[in-house]
Amino acid sequence: MAQRAVWLISHESGTPLGGIVKFSRRYPTVEKRAKVFNGASYVPVPEDGPFLKALLFELRLLDDEKDFLESRDSCSHINKTSIYGVPVGGEELWPVVAFLKNGMIYACVPLVEQTLSPRPPLISISGISQGFELLFGVQDFLSSGQKTDSELNTKLSQLSDLLLQTCPFGTLLDANLQNSLDSINSASVTHLQKQPAWKTGTYKGKPQVSISITEKVNSMQYDKQEIADTWQVVGVVTCKCDLEGSMPNVTISLSLPTNGSPLQDILVHPCVTSLDSAILTSSSIDAMDDSAFSGPYKFPLTPPLESFNLCYYTSQVPVPPILGFYQVKEEEVQLKITVNLKLHESVKNSFEFCEAHIPFYNRGPITHVEYKASFGQLEVFREKSLLVWIIGQKFPKSMEISLSGTITFGAKNHEKQPFDQICIGGTAYLKTGS
Amino acid sequence: MGPLGRETWAQRLGTFRASPSAFMAGPEGEDLGRDLLSDLRSEKLSEPMKVALLALSLEYPDQLWPDAPAAEAAATSLLDTLVLLPPRPSALRRPLLLAATTALAAGGALNPASGASGRLLPLLLGLASGRDLGRSFCPASEQRPLQATAWECLRELESCRPGLLGGCLGLLRALLGREGPAQPLSLLLALALRNALVIQARAGAGLQGLLTAGESSMEGGPWNWMLAEEGEVHLQPQAPSWPAAEEDECGLAALELSPEEARELRATVAQLLDASYLLTPVAQAQLLWLLGWALRGLRGQPPVLFKPQLVRLLGTAQLTLLHAMLALKAAFGEALFTAQDEALLLRRLTLAAQHPALPLPTHLFYLHCLLNFPENWPLGPTGEEAAPLLLGSQLCRGLLPSLLHEPMALLARLHLLCLLCVEDEEKEGKGQDRSPRHYLEELLAGLRQRAALDGGPRALATLCFQASYLVAHCLAGQPVVLIPLTQGLAQLYRARPALAPHFVDLLDHVGPELQEPLRVALRQEVASRPGREEALRWHLQMLASVADGDAQSATLSFLRAAAAHCTDWGLQQALLRVCRALLRAGVGGGLADLLQELARQLEDPDGQDHARLYYILLAHLAGPKLGVALGPSLAAPALASSLVAENQGFAAALMVQEAPAPIRLSVGPRRAEGAVPVLRLQVEVLEPVYSLELRFRVEGQLYAPLGAVHVPCLCPGRPTRPLLLPLQPRRPAPARLAVRALYSTPSGLTCHAHLPPLLVAFADLFLPFPQPPEGAQLDFFEELWDSCLPKGTESRLWCPLGPEGLEALVSRHLEPFVVVAQPPVSYLVAIRLPPDSRLLLRLEAAQADGVPVALRTDDWAVLPLAGDYLRGLSAAG
């Protein structure tokens, strides 16, 4: 249930090592247990240098892809989870939980309380999910509000103290690191009776509950008769409950608008105390019919102090809000693109902002753009190989806008340009946001 | 040494962290632990610096204090430092507690004999239970945080030394009922309870009132180590902790609880579970794991206690909570989860495995959980990944792989799809429009299409082959899947031969169901190529892997065509590797021709040698032996490099061994003809030899170095032809030839033998002059005779004759050299002695016992040899 070591590694392709260990923490008492539990199959946690190298290789993040390497490219070397065996000093350190997110590799080694040969199934190792939770927690902490490098460095420097608080001996006590930071800063808070561990203090002031809903639409539009377009709404309900008392009881009830599509695939925050079975079973796996549960969706809960994601859901709306047409033609070093966007009439034509991102992958920087837009302006991010079409706060009356242009790219300079495995050649996508 | 400055420490810590082992091996390594402890009390260092020092000791106690006595001393010093802190708020108390705990637990110093343990444990328990330790120890504001820390320290000690807190169970229970933070106490109680149950079950004892013992039990007196001593056994490698394994392993069934104890236990567990909502989600998950472990297999403890928690947990997106639920499922099975519950759990898991709001690593882990789902009534063998029975194809619809997925997600989903295809086998042909199999085929085709992109990233190719491997592995018994897979892969090769290494790798790993047909398809694919394209290197690599005894002619003609384009060393070696593969496969006739061609044609000497070697091996070794010679050596571990492997394979076979001579050589009767003297060597074979090479060395450099003589095979009892050894004398003189033989034995060994030296006689060098035209012989001889002087010399001697007389002597020894014969009166003999000497003899009327010989030569040195020769003739017979 404990972690033997934790690392944060910034992935910097193009540098000699391919990355830098930004943070590492070892847990010697857990390591001692690992030695006993694992017995002959025990592999010690390596030092940062060798681990960095081996992990980057295992994650295929070193840049030398030129030649076939059996230890990396063999067909039988299959990883179906973010849990790896990392070769170190002739042995394999396993299990290493690791993933890359926004240029940072998060890694840890959970304790396995038994022998490692034969390898037990991952599902039987309690430390795996704890490890993930720890890494997600660190990730949330680093990414919350962070914009600049110096902010990131400040947060990294706080990590050591934070882990001393939330994970002093390798067993995670709270994945919400921000909470711990707050409790360090307000050490004098007196704990009342039965104060929940996930609530660092109490609120004093005017009671208010704020709720916001964010929805994202993923859509694939084929512009072909024989293939049906697909789209899905993914929503998240975020809450902030400023209420007095140590454990106020709150019930939040969500209702659909008239003719709204039912919510499905609902996942709730652990502070929700009970759930209607209709909410538990409503799922996009099932065929849609009128019997689908359409609310109201009630969530009785005891809220934490901070803002939290009350629930995530998906939904099937009858039409995608924006219909798009995007065509790419490659002519030597130039790309000719055509974009048409049409706002569906059922959507209110008023936005805080609306823009379309047109990224280009696996190419050099943009050197020249000629374009014609029926509406809005185009911003060019040359080094990022990105075009942003700023549509503004509303579509024109026709609800239809178009952009066509020719983009010239410079020579590919491997390290910096965006890379994507799928967007090769004429394969590309477009993202609209509002 | 006085306390180090801030800068020095910062630098030291930096160097240490960069590579602890290097630092400890350096000059400063030895003192680090000591300096750290002493400088913690230094007035000069700031608190943050001291916290940094303690942080280091939390991570690397093994390096700082490598053995138990050192750890004990360090813990004592840390405790002293803690006690000596001035009674004002300080950031050091917490890390000092953690550091002392770490030093004891990691250093193996936690035991009844340890003084530091004896001090730390009561201190921690006192802090934790909120006992008043006096204002001098810490200010009131720090009491709460220190209390939590003390709980954590105790929990860690209990983890490292199960049973340590067994005596405190009653106290912990009592404290849980009071105010104060619930989380650390709950976790510690659950852990201590689990450990106590396991230890007591092993000892065959009950709980012995541990749960009801009052608070007074731990006060004052010495620490109760009894349970911990028994617990030593517990921290051994356990049987699989996943509860689905053998129930007996845990052995809790052996625990005899009195009804009262059982009631107390139930009450404790209920108490813990009721307060669990106060814990953070990760701590709740830990609690559930611990209690699940504790109660599994325990009689009289129905798992229904967990039920109220389950509904709440099912709804969350929290990874740890769902995972803990799966652990409970595995621990209690049907006793806690009915079939409907199981179906609901599967449904939630399926949903979570694809929920767009969750990150990829979570999806992947849930997919793993699906394939390893602890079913109530599993059908298949345990330990193998399988789709749960209740997971119908409808549920899986959202889990089908697509080309847009990340490689790992694609593979995980593909695995599930394969498992569905296995199930689907029976339903085949029932008119489903889009069966999993069709879906699978389309997906694989898409993957191949992407892998075929020229210049595409290697990761895409790797993914395609991983998918193919996975499919071949899961669906080995389904030709209906494997046939299109084989065809598709062959097409992929056609489109992008540069993927040859991936194909070779795939062939090495898949089972025969795919391997055999794929091998044939790829061989045909390669052999149908013109053999002169850029991809030749790949074709050759491919062929080296797939070539075998079948379709030899196509393969050989491809190679023949390719040979002309193998201009560099690498290509030639690749070509030869194919030949080698063919050799091993036992391809004969055509290959021999090809190898001979290569031996002549290849530009690189190494290539030539290899071709020749293969040819010789092919010509002289029988099939099985060839396999042994070419196969990798079993004795030495195989290396990846084919060149090394090749050499290793030969090492045993080509190690030259000294042996007694297997043949005898003698110089046979010679024929005086040709431009140079040629020795005719008679061979007597004592034992069979193959690939015989005879090497000759002329003693005294009288002749130019002699070439070796090669004989493919010699067998005793079979007639042998004489071996011809041409000589190139630098001076016309007899010589001794040292002879060595190199050969292979029938057992495949290469041997080396010294043969007795061979003597080349003076007469062996004789060559006739070209025959002059008829009638001009006398003039020819006279001309030669005259030309010898004045440079040369003339002599007369007496050549003794045996009973046969002159005619017989001449015909036996000098016949080829006679220019003019007038028997029995006179013979004129002219002998050419290479390199450029001559010997002329006039044998005149013979008398009873000899014949006078007049001789002339243009080379002084020849005279004594000629004399000896003539005088020896009669003796020679």
- Closest partner residue to A312 (CB to CB) among B105, B327, B355 is B355
- Report CB contact under 8 Å: B355, A128: no
- Report CB contact under 8 Å: A169, B145: no
Number of separate domains in chain B = 6
Mean pLDDT over residues B416-443, rounded? Answer: 75
Residue A392 domain flag: yes
- Report CB contact under 8 Å: B160, A29: yes
Of B575 and B551, more confident: B575
Q: Is B495 helix (H, G, I), strand (E, B) or coil?
A: helix
- Report CB contact under 8 Å: B458, A29: no
- Report CB contact under 8 Å: A81, B367: yes
Nearest Cα to Cα of residue B162 among B201, B123, B119, B116: B201
DSSP class of B663? E
Residue B382 domain flag: no
With a CB cutoff of 8 Å and minimum separation 6, the contacts of B328 are: B288, B292, B303, B306, B310, B336
Among A81, A102, A106, A158, which would you mutate to test the B interface (most chain B Cβ atoms within 10 Å of its Cβ)? A81
Residue where one domain finishes, among candidates A300, A315, A330 = A315
* Crossing angle between the packed helical segments B281-295 and B182-203, to the nearest 10 degrees: 20
Q: Would you place residue B404 in the very low, low, confident or very high pLDDT band (cuts 50, 70, 90)?
A: confident
- Report CB contact under 8 Å: A130, B282: yes
User: Do B757 and B779 belong to one domain?
Assistant: no
User: Do A33 and A125 belong to one domain?
Assistant: yes
B506: enclosing H helix or E strand:
helix B500-509
- Closest partner residue to A78 (CB to CB) among B235, B238, B466 is B466
User: Do A264 and A407 belong to one domain?
Assistant: no
Chain A residues inside the 8 Å CB shell of B239: 114
- Closest partner residue to B20 (CB to CB) among A47, A82, A422 is A47
Chain A residues inside the 8 Å CB shell of B282: 130, 133-134, 172-175
CA B621 – CA A124 distance, rounded (Å): 56
List the single residue in A with minimal CA-CA distance to B402: A422
What is the model's pLDDT at position B749? 75
Percent pLDDT > 90 in chain B is 22
User: Do A61 and A170 belong to one domain?
Assistant: yes
- Closest partner residue to A126 (CB to CB) among B144, B238, B327 is B327
User: Do B100 and B224 belong to one domain?
Assistant: yes
Residue where one domain finishes, among candidates B477, B496, B528 = B528
User: Do A225 and A344 belong to one domain?
Assistant: no
Q: What count of other Cβ atoms lies within 10 Å of the Cβ of residue B630?
A: 19
- Report CB contact under 8 Å: A312, B357: yes
> Which domain does A254 fall in, by range?
208-315
User: Do B592 and B615 belong to one domain?
Assistant: yes
- Report CB contact under 8 Å: B315, A266: yes
User: Do A328 and A247 belong to one domain?
Assistant: no
User: Do B568 and B502 belong to one domain?
Assistant: no
Residue A252 domain flag: yes
Chain B residues inside the 8 Å CB shell of A97: 361
Interface size between A and B, measured as CB pairs under 8 A: 321
User: Do A329 and A394 belong to one domain?
Assistant: yes
User: Do B478 and B518 belong to one domain?
Assistant: yes
Chain B residues inside the 8 Å CB shell of A66: 458
User: Do B695 and B713 belong to one domain?
Assistant: yes
List the single residue in A with minimal CA-CA distance to B153: A169
User: Do A142 and A40 belong to one domain?
Assistant: yes
User: Do B69 and B210 belong to one domain?
Assistant: yes
CA B175 – CA B178 distance, rounded (Å): 5
Give the torsion sign (CA, B835, B837, B842, B846): negative
Burial A14-36 (b: 16+ CB within 10 A, else e): eeeebbebbbbbbbbbbbbbbee
Q: Residue B478 pLDDT > 80, yes or no?
A: yes
What is the model's pLDDT at position B425? 66
Residue B810 domain flag: yes
pLDDT tens per residue across span B26-46: 888 888 899 999 999 888 888
Residue where one domain finishes, among candidates B731, B762, B793 = B762
Residue A279 domain flag: yes
Number of separate domains in chain A = 3
> Which domain does B669 fall in, by range?
654-762
Chain A residues inside the 8 Å CB shell of B411: 78-80
- Closest partner residue to B285 (CB to CB) among A75, A129, A312 is A129
List the single residue in A with minimal CA-CA distance to B159: A33
Residue B159 domain flag: yes
Return per-residue pLDDT of chain A as tens, 434 residues. Answer: 899 999 999 998 777 888 999 999 999 999 999 998 888 899 999 999 999 999 999 998 886 677 888 888 899 999 999 999 999 888 899 999 999 998 899 999 999 988 888 888 899 899 999 999 999 999 999 988 767 888 888 899 889 989 998 999 999 999 988 877 777 665 444 555 567 888 877 888 899 999 999 988 888 888 888 888 888 899 999 999 999 888 889 999 999 888 788 899 999 999 998 888 888 888 887 766 666 788 789 999 999 988 999 999 998 877 888 888 898 888 877 889 999 999 988 888 888 888 899 988 878 888 899 999 999 999 998 878 889 999 888 899 889 999 999 999 887 765 556 666 667 666 777 777 76
Residue B92 domain flag: yes
Chain A residues inside the 8 Å CB shell of B237: 36-39, 114-115
User: Do B88 and B199 belong to one domain?
Assistant: yes
Given CB atoms, is A58 within the 8 Å cutoff of chain B? no
Domain with residue B827: its CATH number is 3.30.310.10
CA B859 – CA B857 distance, rounded (Å): 5
Chain A residues inside the 8 Å CB shell of B55: 160, 164
Nearest Cα to Cα of residue A364 among A337, A349, A384, A390: A384
Residue A198 domain flag: no
List the single residue in B with minimal CA-CA distance to A193: B179
Q: Is B329 helix (H, G, I), strand (E, B) or coil?
A: helix
Given CB atoms, is A231 within the 8 Å cutoff of chain B? no
CA A11 – CA A17 distance, rounded (Å): 9
CA A421 – CA B191 distance, rounded (Å): 47
Whether residue B447 contacts residue B411, with contact meaning beta carbons closer than 8 Å, is answered with: no
Residue where one domain finishes, among candidates A247, A282, A315 = A315
Residue A281 domain flag: yes
Given CB atoms, is A14 within the 8 Å cutoff of chain B? no
- Report CB contact under 8 Å: B344, A281: yes
Put simply, the chain A residues between 311 and 330 with a CB less than 8 A from any chain B CB are 312, 314
Residue where one domain finishes, among candidates A148, A182, A216 = A182
- Report CB contact under 8 Å: B106, A312: no
Q: Residue B446 is which amino acid?
A: G
Residue B637 domain flag: no
Chain B residues inside the 8 Å CB shell of A113: 238, 241
Distance from CA of A372 to the nearest CA of B (A): 31
Q: Would you place residue B455 in the very low, low, confident or very high pLDDT band (cuts 50, 70, 90)?
A: confident
- Report CB contact under 8 Å: A169, B372: no
Residue A202 domain flag: no
List the single residue in A with minimal CA-CA distance to B343: A281
List the single residue in B with minimal CA-CA distance to A183: B145
User: Do A127 and A58 belong to one domain?
Assistant: yes
User: Do A311 and A326 belong to one domain?
Assistant: no
List the single residue in A with minimal CA-CA distance to B140: A188
Domain with residue A60: its CATH number is 3.30.450.60
Chain A residues inside the 8 Å CB shell of B361: 81-82, 97, 99, 132
Given CB atoms, is A279 within the 8 Å cutoff of chain B? yes
Asked which of A376-385, B125-134, B362-371, B686-695 is least confident by mean pLDDT, the reply is B125-134
pLDDT tens per residue across span B433-453: 568 888 899 999 999 998 988
User: Do B115 and B200 belong to one domain?
Assistant: yes
CA B499 – CA A12 distance, rounded (Å): 28
User: Do A270 and A346 belong to one domain?
Assistant: no
Burial B816-845 (b: 16+ CB within 10 A, else e): ebbbbbeeeeebbbbbbbbeebbbbbbbbe
User: Do B97 and B211 belong to one domain?
Assistant: yes
What is the model's pLDDT at position B876? 66
Given CB atoms, is A64 within the 8 Å cutoff of chain B? no
User: Do A44 and A127 belong to one domain?
Assistant: yes
What is the model's pLDDT at position A24? 94
Average model confidence (pLDDT) across chain B: 83
Residue B212 domain flag: yes
Domain with residue B692: its CATH number is 2.60.40.1230
Chain B residues inside the 8 Å CB shell of A315: none
Q: Would you place residue B803 in the very low, low, confident or very high pLDDT band (cuts 50, 70, 90)?
A: confident
CA A161 – CA A140 distance, rounded (Å): 16
Given CB atoms, is A39 within the 8 Å cutoff of chain B? yes
Among A101, A123, A220, which would you mutate to test the B interface (most chain B Cβ atoms within 10 Å of its Cβ)? A123
Residue B141 domain flag: yes
What is the model's pLDDT at position B508? 92
User: Do A54 and A30 belong to one domain?
Assistant: yes
Whether residue A285 contacts residue B397, with contact meaning beta carbons closer than 8 Å, is answered with: yes
What is the model's pLDDT at position B552? 81
B714: enclosing H helix or E strand:
strand B709-714
- Report CB contact under 8 Å: A312, B18: no
Chain A residues inside the 8 Å CB shell of B446: none
Q: Is B657 helix (H, G, I), strand (E, B) or coil?
A: strand
- Report CB contact under 8 Å: A196, B278: yes
Q: Residue B832 pLDDT > 50, yes or no?
A: yes
Chain B residues inside the 8 Å CB shell of A425: 453
Put simply, the chain A residues between 81 and 110 with a CB less than 8 A from any chain B CB are 81-83, 97, 99, 101
What is the model's pLDDT at position B216? 53
- Report CB contact under 8 Å: A188, B141: yes
User: Do B228 and B108 belong to one domain?
Assistant: yes
Distance from CA of A191 to the nearest CA of B (A): 7
What is the model's pLDDT at position A289? 64
- Report CB contact under 8 Å: A196, B356: no
CA B392 – CA A78 distance, rounded (Å): 25
Please state the ipTM of this predicted complex.
0.92
Q: Residue B613 pLDDT > 60, yes or no?
A: yes
Domain with residue A223: its CATH number is 2.60.40.1170
What is the model's pLDDT at position B244? 45
Mean pLDDT over residues B75-84, rounded? Answer: 93
Distance from CA of B160 to the nearest CA of A (A): 7
Residue B21 domain flag: no
User: Do B669 and B727 belong to one domain?
Assistant: yes
